Chain A
């Protein structure tokens, strides 16, 4: 009896403590943008025959549920919804599908937000702090189910027109396609 009780206490302590880090707020310096912007590849075309894949970049913000939910709020505040709706697309391409014109890695999305893209995606450089662009990039990935369920947002207070990001099935990215999705 005693042993079982102790075991239960220890196990629940582990469970509780284990879930702490997902709520961590990031106070460290964000990854340097200039570095990202110089190395990230946004076109699928290369000189030479073989496509050199963009090395997967990491984004510490996508490991924190707090940051991803901040990204979700900013996606609304900065009116990304005006062009991309809630991921389904409109003036801008859908962000919850598997097709990525400019790549799905955090660095690619960060670069898309900061630099803008020629067919109508505005540049947010000098408008929003870099750490917020990283948070938004993390949230954009969660819309296509590319983040673990534990950090993806659950349902919001808004009218829920689609399943929450945490229950979106993973849409395996196609790589950098360079073209919008063609109507079927």
Chain B
């Protein structure tokens, strides 16, 4: 009963529009892979719904049939071989139907798994996703090193082309889960695996780490930005460029602050002396919608708050606080905001 209730409740919750359903929802597939999963979801839902209805009907029927004698001695029931035989058949066939149904569900799960996995077309876009506590490193590997795009937390993909994701993790197990796109995939440290999907509707889909990975697991989101092939290629060309030269005097000073403080010990800005891969690549940080793994919008205020004390926003994060003077802080924010 509680199982049935929680099933209904979970379905009601799934329909409730807490999150924008287009962005983070198993039942709004934007890719054939998520479509297969959605189909399986509904299949199992209706089977369980039928079981629930039958159970309640049987329960109500039994309740209506029973004649409870409130007082007096209990009636003596004669042994009825015939009825026992019928009951035996009823129980036996109910069990057989249950086992058969479970078997069908099992087979369909395996088939769905296969359909989600099978790579059908060639020339995919390959993306390496590496989990870090608590952000996603995203790169588009190329045999020529200077043609490799590296970014963080926002995965641009062309609509209608197969996307192969290569997984890895820097530290602990993380899990890549964008419910509108496909099922969960674990990122295991020191072990590379691959999966693929293909998105057929442009849009921004939200994803989340789905394997508990430490303090800031809940703040380890990402987004998949599905756009037309042209838009994707324009984005890629832009990302391949070195960092923009700062043009205002404030931004020039900001670059100096960046390169003479701890920032360059952890971050890369291509075209400058900063070349560490410990934190996200900031070469084009201004081109992102959100920062710190979908935790803050990419605005001047959020950047400043994050840079001064990231530990207040994501306690435990691998970025250390940076006690900068207000002028230095403003300058470095101006510089970062010019890195389109």
Q: Tell me the A residues contacting B by CB distance below 8 Å.
A: 25, 70, 73-74, 77-79, 126-129, 131-132, 157-158
**Contact between chains at B214 and A157 (CB < 8 Å):** yes
Known contacts A73-B318, A77-B278, A158-B171, then 10 further A-B pairs from the complex at CB < 8 Å, ordered by chain A residue: A25-B311, A73-B320, A74-B320, A129-B262, A129-B322, A131-B323, A132-B262, A132-B320, A157-B171, A157-B214
Instruction: Using CB atoms, name the residue of chain B closest to A157.
Output: B172
What is the size category of the interface that chain B forms with chain A? 10 to 19
**Contact between chains at A157 and B133 (CB < 8 Å):** yes
Which residues of A are found within 8 Å of B172, using beta-carbon distances? 157
Contact with A along B236-278 (1 / 0, CB 8 A): 0000000000000000000000001110111000000000101
CA distance A67 to B79 in the complex (A): 79
State the total of A-B contacts with C-beta under 8 angstroms.
30
18 A-B pairs, CB-CB below 8 angstroms?
A25-B311, A70-B320, A73-B318, A73-B320, A77-B265, A77-B278, A77-B318, A77-B320, A126-B260, A127-B262, A127-B264, A127-B265, A128-B262, A129-B261, A129-B323, A132-B320, A157-B133, A157-B171
Which residues of B are found within 8 Å of A77, using beta-carbon distances? 265-266, 278, 318, 320
Closest Cβ–Cβ distance, residue A119 to chain B (whole Å): 22
Which residues of A are found within 8 Å of B214, using beta-carbon distances? 157
CA distance A73 to B323 in the complex (A): 18
Which residues of A are found within 8 Å of B261, using beta-carbon distances? 129
Which residues of A are found within 8 Å of B262, using beta-carbon distances? 127-129, 132
User: Which residues of chain B from 281 to 340 have any CB-CB distance to chain A below 8 Å in the complex?
Assistant: 311, 318, 320, 322-323
CA distance A128 to B265 in the complex (A): 8
Which residues of B are found within 8 Å of A74, using beta-carbon distances? 320
CA distance A74 to B318 in the complex (A): 8
